[in-house]
Structures are given as structure tokens and as C-alpha cells.
Amino acid sequence: GSAVLRCSGCGAPLQTEDPAGIGYIPMLKEEGAQICRRCFRIKNYNEVASVAVNQDEFLRMLGQIGDRKALVIHIVDLFDFEGSVITGLQRFVGSNPVILAVNKIDLLPKVTNWNKVRNWVQKQSKELGLKTEEIILCSAKKNIGFDRLLQEVADRRGDRDVYVVGATNVGKSTLINRLITDYSDLDEELTVSRYPGTTLDMVNIPLDDGHYIVDTPGIVYPSRYTELVTPGDLVKIMPEKPLKPAVYQLNEGQTLFIGGLARFDFIAGEHQSFTFYTSGTLKLHRTKLGRADELYAEHVGEMLTPPSREHMEDLPAWTRHEFRVPKGGAQDLFISGLGWIRANGQSGAKVAVHAPKGVKVIMRGSLV
């Protein structure tokens, strides 16, 4: 028949096209029980893998959480806060409590004022209309903040199921795998089971205390640079090590290229400093504003790289975003997935950021 073949683990429709999507299987047999790669890895390696869904599918899934008694762990990436935060979350989770786990704090410079960061996150999430019971700064990679997170979960869960939700690449799998290693009985096979009544696969992770944590697919936000680049360039734009801010003393009429991925123009204002918070693997190139178009046309894909020449065409054309940085109080010019430029605000400035159409570019109060 032509019935859709489903994963016998999670129930997702099986497909061979999209390795990052749900229900992916390298080879599909025409009949018989088969499981998707994600479930295979959980069963055989006790390890969750990242899978992604589009916004519509994700919102449908969130709606299901709203109908349950849930405790939601909303995980965001501190390096791409505005890009990874799920702004619509509150509408969907209903009255269920939410813990905001702010991941990748290891990327901020060692000397960071963490109280300031915490206040900053609190202010931003309030402005976005998020109601959070607790904000936990953490690093899934460096194992920071997990005892706190687990303590909060234990204190607040009652008889609720715990759902972990997040955008792609925020570190959700790393976090859950950390929980599996530290807090679950590894001798036991992880269960792969579908919640009754759910239409999308969620994976139950049993912890030592007899409770479960539920992994959900990551949401794809097309406004993040990380969703636009090739896998090869992705590792170049996502910082691995703590950021080493690069300070530039600039005069008006100067431009800086971030590889060939974006461009910052200091259009008008007194001589002042700007600080670049981008992956250390990206080279910054300074030039005159008047020469910037020409330099880009001549050197993108070569000196100004990534992107490479062969992948340039895959990126949308640039949009120019102009901002007036007010005097007093530092501001960040934030480029979702790529980082930010801090305008130190000693005096006012007129600036512009060029980035591919669709990538979120905003001015915000400075994070650090």
C-alpha cells in the first residue's frame, strides 16, 4: 500500500531526504519495523541527536505541551540570544512554569560580570513577554550550572513532565546528553516511546530519580545566520573558545568586513572605539567606507571569506541596516548567529550593518 512508513520508536514518518529532520533513515525498506537514526542512536548509544522542524510543526508541538501539566526548560544560546529565544513560547505553554536555561556562557570572556549578564537576560526576556520562574546561566559543554538546573527542576516539577525546548544549535542535545551521563542509569536502555496523543516525536529520558525529561525537536528560525551557511562555514561562525573581543579605534568613514559575511560602516561621529565579538576564526578587514563596495566586489570569497567563492551564490543579497547610536550607554549591533559589535557610546555615532536579507540585525543594550 501507499501508507506512510513510521519509525517504530518515535512514530515519526520515515524519510530519507533530510538528515537533520525527524524520522530520517539512510535506507528505507518497503515493509517491516524500522527505526529512525535518532532513535537508533538513543537505543544503541544512549545519546540524543539534534533534529529540527519548521516553525509550524514546532508550534503544533508546543500546543500539545500547553494541554499537559508540564515544566518547560527553555534553552537559549547566549551568543545568539535574540536569534534563538522562542518569543511565542508563553502563548503556547499556557500557565505551565518555564525555566530559562541560558547556555554557552563559556563563550563570554573570562572577566565577564555575571550579575550584569543575569540582569541583562532578565530585562530582555521581560521585554519579550517571557515569564520565567528562574534564569539559569549554564554551559552544557563545560558542565557549568547543571546542579542548579537540576535543583530547580526538582523543586518545581511536582508531578509535571519536564520538556526541554529550544531552537537548533543552542546546545539542547549536548545538555540532554550531559543529563543522561550524569543523572541517568546508563546500564538501562533509554526508552524510545511516543507520548500518547502527540503527533511529533518527543523522546523520554529516564533519570535516576524515576522521573523523565522529554527531548523535543529543535525549531528552525530562518533569521539566524547559522541557518544560512554551509556546514563547513557553520563551524567557522560559531565560536568554540571564549570570545577575545577585538577593539578598533575608528574614524568616521571607515568600514570593517567580518570575513565576507557582513560589513560594519562607521558613517559619522567623533573618533571612537568599537569592539567586535565574533568567532576568533573570522578575519576582520578594515578599509575606507568609500572603497568598501569595490573591495567587496573584488575580494569576496577570497580575501573576504567565508563564504567561499563557490558558496557565495547560496547566500541572499545584503540588506543595509542603519542605526544611530546614542551618546552615553554602550549599545550592541547584533547580527543573529554571527555575534555583535559594541558601540562604546562615548559619543553618538551613525553606523550601518550590511548582512544577508532575512538575517536579524538589531541594536540592543550591551550584553557585556
Residues at the interface with ligand GDP (CB under 6 A): 50, 103-104, 106-107, 139-141, 166, 168-174, 218
Identify which of residues 5 and 234 has a Cβ nearer to ligand GDP in the complex: 234
Identify which of residues 106 and 265 has a Cβ nearer to ligand GDP in the complex: 106
CB of 309 to ligand GDP, least distance (A): 25
Identify which of residues 226 and 331 has a Cβ nearer to ligand GDP in the complex: 226
Assess contact for 63 and 92: CB atoms under 8 A: yes
CB of 165 to ligand GDP, least distance (A): 10
CB of 270 to ligand GDP, least distance (A): 36
Q: Which of 278, 255, 296 is nearest to 337 (CA)?
A: 278
Nearest-CB residue for ligand GDP: 171
The number of C-alpha atoms within 13 Å of 122 and in the hemisphere containing its C-beta is 10
Q: Which of 260, 261, 248 is nearest to 342 (CA)?
A: 248
CB of 337 to ligand GDP, least distance (A): 12
Of all residues in the chain, what percent are helix, strand and coil, respectively (each to 5)?
25, 30, 45
Identify which of residues 168 and 336 has a Cβ nearer to ligand GDP in the complex: 168
Strand 161-166 with 212-215, pairing: parallel
Strand 134-137 with 70-77, pairing: unpaired
Strand 361-365 with 331-335, pairing: antiparallel
CB of 136 to ligand GDP, least distance (A): 12
Give the C-alpha separation, 49 to 42, whole Å. Answer: 8
CB of 103 to ligand GDP, least distance (A): 5
Identify which of residues 62 and 170 has a Cβ nearer to ligand GDP in the complex: 170
Strand 331-335 with 212-215, pairing: unpaired
- Upstream peptide bond of 222 is cis (omega within 30 degrees of 0): no
Identify which of residues 130 and 165 has a Cβ nearer to ligand GDP in the complex: 165
Identify which of residues 146 and 276 has a Cβ nearer to ligand GDP in the complex: 146
Helix (H, G, I), strand (E, B) or coil at 180: helix
CB of 55 to ligand GDP, least distance (A): 15
Strand 318-325 with 331-335, pairing: unpaired
